[in-house]
A and B are shown apart, each in its own frame.
Chain A
Amino acid sequence: MSDEIIRRDPRAEWIARNRLHPLHDAMQQAGAAETRGPSGLIRRNPHAVGFIGPNGIKRIDRMNGNGPAVGGRRSAGAAKEVELPLHKVENPDYYVVVVPDMVGGRLSGHDRDVIGQAHKLIREGEGAGAVLAVVFGEHREEAFDKAGVDRLLNITGEAYEGYTPELRVAALEQVEKEYAPKYWLLPDSVAAGFEIGCRLAARIGERPATQAWQVSSDEAICRGAGGTTDITRKTPRLMLLAEECAEPIDETRHEVLPLELETSVSVQAVIQDCGQVAVDPNAIPLGEAEFILSAGNGVTDWNQFHQAAEALGATEGASRVAVDDGNMPRFRQVGATGTWVTARVYVAVGISGAVQHLQGIGQCDKVIAINTDVGCDMVKRAALSCIADSGEVMAELIRLANAYRQEVVENAA
């Protein structure tokens, strides 16, 4: 690897070059792959070739190893992460404010694109601008610096937890007053950005560009008419950006200096959040479901499978064989000829992992396989595999899920 530091030992190198040196033979012998035998023929010692890698497996480095590596010893702390250059903005002339969605408390890919766009606008304009990210509530993001955040305004407090669009917009209005940003950039997403952006735009009287996908400092191209037309317009101050609007930041680190609002905001919120509602997982369209328990030919007890799905609160899916055999309805089929699912967690019970099936789960994050066959493709795809009979594992899962529910109820009481 190029970023490993190679420590040279000049003395050893010199001895290796000098065949008359008294230590030459001994030194060469230690790591020699080729030696001259007594009859003058070249002898290869395959055991001496290469070196032992960090995980105990022998590695042959065919790139550096043209000759016994006598002098070069690889440093122990291999694969060190490169330190990216720090981008500093001392006294920003203006701010570009980004309000990321922070789905699950972390920056999403869309958020990073928007921050990338903010830096693009700063690069095109004059003066030193800083990207100010406004984050509500507790967050779990550790890499704000690598995402390109110069200043971070984290507005915390119990009032900001949950669904509080009115309070958030009031806080952003305060940001508008105190920092007078040059641009407001938000992700045009279902998660939060679209709603907050529209509310803010209506509040501060800006006309936003929505679904903007190509933005420079003087012109913005936006998708209009439900995505069927492109509107080219002058770049407004407030923009709701489409996904992949710009390249995310990946070559610099940024300061992430904390900022604060001078005055705290409070509003009488009229929209009352009564919490998320339990929905029947099987009523969720398969393509949208977050958590799918999917059955294949390896499932024999179908009642038990339905019980398991219910106990875990998972949406049911199936492989084609399970559907063709009449054990599951057609609309439950996952795969090339069924539904392409986007679940975050996909549990495949007794599914071998045929390509047609794997295509359908291409977008799933975590795949868990329960299968009797270690060699099958699903196990190769899965992040966690259990090599066991599906029935036994499902029985245990049902027990665990019920015990967990019981515990939650007891704790709540």
Chain B
Amino acid sequence: MQPDKQNANLRIAALVSVGKHPGSGRARRAEQDARAVEMGLAMAPQGLEVLHAGDPHAEALRAYAGMGLKKLRILQQGENADAVPALSQYLSETKPDIVLTGVRAESGESSGMMAYLLGEKLGMPVVTRIAEIVSIDNGQANLLQALPRGQRRALRVPLPFVASVDMAAATPRQSAFGPASRAEMEAKAADVEVLDEVQASWSEAPARKRPKRLKVVKAKTAADRFKAATAKSSGDGGKVLRDKPASEMAQAVFDLLLEEGVIR
């Protein structure tokens, strides 16, 4: 926690969902959503509103409250209702500066569309996979976006915006049982409830194991097939430099590194 980062006037809405443990399948706080809450708590502990659309009695929601929240706002709606209309309706009334979501939910369709649909509905820019909100000045936010291989990209976006929080963001604080059970679950029926009809026509089953792709050898003759079956896998020996001054060898290594583009 860096107090200098906190901004008293900033209003953040963190959208949370009920997660699912990949191994046991038990309901839990979703990892990315918890990171969004953590980011919100670090930026604006006063102005943070944690929002969920769905069942207010879900036990997993208490795990978010246990991170030190006084209350959770819940837009109550049925199990098969679409969360986007309810949330966008609510958010267009409260007009937060920043809306934080996870990249992909751990349960349900987990399409990752939530942030984009909200952005489109609310007319806010959407930033994907942020790792950190560095600072906010003059109505603009400086963000760090997580790229593959641990790289980061700096972005600048005007408020208000929607952002999805990557796993690279700061790990969420632990959830404490006492505060979790004391927190207030402020539920009210969602203003709009749209049934997700498309989803009703889907069938869902536990994930099947995907077949591994086989290396099919398309050889015309037996000799080619034999060669393909017995050929050593790669590693046919590379270039070997020896009996040369160290500087020359190092130059060769360095040239290769430059060529591969790993020297920045």
What B residues does A244 contact at CB under 8 A?
Answer: 210, 213
Interface 0/1 of B112-148, CB less than 8 Å to A: 1101110110000111110000000000001011011
- Flag if A233 contacts B120 (CB, 8 Å): no
A277 at interface (Cβ–Cβ under 8 A)?
yes
Residue from A1, A226, A231, A233 having most chain B Cβ neighbours under 10 A: A226
Q: Which residue of A lies closest to B19 (CB)?
A: A226
A159 at interface (Cβ–Cβ under 8 A)?
no
- Flag if B257 contacts A345 (CB, 8 Å): yes
Interface 0/1 of B231-256, CB less than 8 Å to A: 00001011111111011011111101
Query: Shortest CB–CB separation between residue A274 and chain B, in angstroms?
Result: 4
Which residue of A201, A223, A227, A384 is within 8 Å of B241 (Cβ)? Answer: A384
Chain A interface residue count: which class?
35 or more
Q: Which residue of B lies closest to A190 (CB)?
A: B148
At the interface with chain A, which of B36-44, B48-56, B91-99, B150-158? B150-158
Chain B interface residue count: which class?
35 or more
B201 at interface (Cβ–Cβ under 8 A)?
yes
User: Assuming A198-B116, A226-B104, is B246 touching A288 (CB within 8 A)?
Assistant: no
- Flag if A228 contacts B246 (CB, 8 Å): no
Which residue of A225, A232, A404 is within 8 Å of B107 (Cβ)? Answer: A225
What A residues does B4 contact at CB under 8 A?
Answer: none
Q: What total count of A-B pairs have CB within 8 Å?
A: 229
Query: Shortest CB–CB separation between residue B256 and chain A, in angstroms?
Result: 6
State the main secondary structure of chain A at its contact with B. Answer: mixed
State the main secondary structure of chain B at its contact with A. Answer: mixed
- Flag if B106 contacts A225 (CB, 8 Å): yes
- Flag if B202 contacts A198 (CB, 8 Å): no
- Flag if A202 contacts B257 (CB, 8 Å): no
* A-B residue pairs in contact (CB < 8 Å), sample of 5: A228-B20, A233-B201, A233-B203, A289-B149, A383-B256
| Chain A residues with a Cβ under 8 A of chain B | 1-2, 63, 163, 165-166, 190-191, 194-195, 198-199, 201-203, 207-208, 210-211, 213, 222-234, 244, 247, 250-251, 270-279, 283-285, 288-291, 312-314, 344-345, 347, 366-368, 370, 374, 379-389, 392-393, 395-397, 399-401, 404
| Chain B residues with a Cβ under 8 A of chain A | 20, 22, 25, 104-113, 115-117, 119-120, 125-129, 142, 144-145, 147-158, 198, 201-208, 210, 213, 218, 220-221, 223-224, 235, 237-244, 246-247, 249-254, 256-258, 260, 262-264
